[in-house]
Amino acid sequence: MSQFQWQSRKTQSGGGSAFNNRPGQLSQNVIALNELKFTLHQRLIEELDPNKLDGLGKDKAREAVEQAARTLIAQEMPGIVGTTRDELVSAVADEVLGFGPIEPLLRDASISEVMVNAPDTIFYEKEGRLYLSSVRFRDDQHIMRIVERIVAPLGRRVDESSPMVDARLPDGSRVNIIIPPVAPKSPTVTIRKFRTDKMTINDLVATGALTNELAEFFRACVMAKLNIIISGGTGSGKTTMLNALSAFIPDTERIVTIEDPTELQLQQGHVVTLEARPASLEGRGEVTQRDLVRNSLRMRPDRILVGEVRGPEAFDMLQAMNTGHEGSLGTVHANTPRDALARIENMVMMAGFELPVKAIREQMQSAIHVVIQIARFQDGTRKVVSVAEVSGMEGQVVTMQDLFRFEQTGIDSDGRVLGELRTTGIRPRFTEKFEVSGIHLPADLFAPAGF
């Protein structure tokens, strides 16, 4: 008998025949399973002592709930046996302690993103591709119950007066929630899972994201303290690349990271992590990324890493790059290196200074050395598609030149993208920084393909 006592209250289980999964009956089986899960969940809510569960710790609390569910099933639903019973017990435990139907998706290490569009429409991303999941919520109220479980511990709220919220799960995963009336059809939840296993530059080479030669070039750029912007679309792997490049920063340097929310996993011993904070329910206490960038300049940083440049902090980041804080890295949402500079220019204008466009562009061309462009292809793979040098100014135009470029040659029979990352034959102007830093790259690294 579990440590939680049950009152005897018989219910009609309908036996286990509904879960035989015969062809053509899958939808009815799922509906029946969901009904049983709901019934058990309601009983557990009535009978369990939440205070006792909170004091047990995560693992012991789950063991207690699972044992209580098995006891209740044996007493009230004896026809549910075998694998079906185990699945039901696990699902009920997810309802009581976790995030309901999507908990198994969050536990799956191979899944990178979970998207709840409606109670019966849940997608997940795996290896860069989207799949429709078989899991379901009962209705919109079921989704909202999980939403409340997400935001309540954070002191946040989501309702008609505040229908959108960005939050972070205890494991670091990013959550975006938007509810009616802004999302009129259904509450929508998007969870970008936090990777506990940081991908190294060698891992990226192994997956085909870049070549060994380019990895060596990136190592030289970081060690020579070039300022680098990583550009790409949503889910293209910008943060993963930033994490990988950060491994080349010497352990003797003081690094300040600025993020919203925290995602970077640096291994160096001298790292200060700063995270932006939204305003409270009363509209007070907001700390923006710009506040953090400006404050970081008073913290004696050797490197400043901005997880994602998305607003007026771009102005202060350029100022830092131009005033002795070389070797800074950041990411920006853009589809090409040229677009990345245009985005940064627009964000500098958001800072509120009446600066001429030419002055902003002069700041950019003197501050930024390299723009790395990453893309996610239709087969789900993520690759470096170009590496561009910011080479100077011609009139009022910032000049750039591609050093490396991915050339797609086709798609194979399995839908995989075929192509090769090649050098353009242009030697960057900043190679003298490598020599000054004692970094020696192969003489033919920038030789055009075929030479």
User: What string of DSSP letters covers 273-342?
Assistant: EEE-B---TTS---B-HHHHHHHHTTS--SEEEES---STHHHHHHHHHHTT--S-EEEEE-SSHHHHHH
Which pairs count as long-range contacts for 237-241, CB under 8 Å and 24+ apart, including other chains? 237/209, 237/374, 237/376, 237/382, 238/308, 238/331, 238/374, 239/263, 239/264, 239/307, 239/308, 239/331, 240/195, 240/199, 240/204, 240/382, 241/204, 241/209, 241/331, 241/372, 241/374, 241/384
For residue 37, the model assigns a pLDDT of 67
Query: Looking at domain 98-194, does it have CATH number 3.40.50.720?
Result: no
User: 106 phi and psi, to 5 degrees?
Assistant: -70, -30
pTM, full prediction? 0.78
Question: Which tokens sit at 383?
Answer: 């690759």
Task: Give the Cα separation of 117 and 122 in Å (integer).
Answer: 6
Task: Give the Cα separation of 74 and 306 in Å (integer).
Answer: 55
For residue 170, the model assigns a pLDDT of 81
Q: Is the Cα dihedral 390, 394, 395, 397 positive or negative? A: negative
Task: Give the Cα separation of 9 and 213 in Å (integer).
Answer: 69
Contact 410, 433 (CB under 8 A): no
For residue 195, the model assigns a pLDDT of 77
Q: In one letter, which amino acid is 39?
A: T
Task: Give the Cα separation of 213 and 61 in Å (integer).
Answer: 50
For residue 141, the model assigns a pLDDT of 92
Task: Give the Cα separation of 181 and 279 in Å (integer).
Answer: 22
CATH class of 201-436: alpha beta
Contact 449, 442 (CB under 8 A): no
For residue 29, the model assigns a pLDDT of 58
Every domain of the chain and the residues it spans: 11-97, 98-194, 201-436
Task: Give the Cα separation of 147 and 189 in Å (integer).
Answer: 8
What DSSP element (H or E) covers 382? strand 382-394
Contact 325, 301 (CB under 8 A): yes
From first to last of its 451 residues, what are the pLDDT tens digits of the chain? 333 333 333 333 333 333 333 333 445 555 666 666 677 766 666 666 655 666 677 777 778 777 877 777 777 777 776 777 777 778 777 777 788 889 999 989 899 999 999 999 999 999 888 999 988 898 999 999 899 988 888 777 888 888 998 888 888 888 999 999 999 999 999 999 987 767 899 999 999 999 999 999 999 999 999 999 999 998 899 999 999 999 999 999 999 999 988 888 888 889 999 999 887 767 788 899 999 999 999 999 999 999 999 999 999 999 999 888 899 999 999 999 999 999 999 999 988 888 899 999 999 999 999 999 999 998 889 999 999 999 999 999 999 999 999 999 999 988 889 999 999 999 999 998 998 899 999 888 988 765 5
**CATH topology of 98-194 equal to that of 201-436?**
no
End-to-end CA distance of the chain: 77
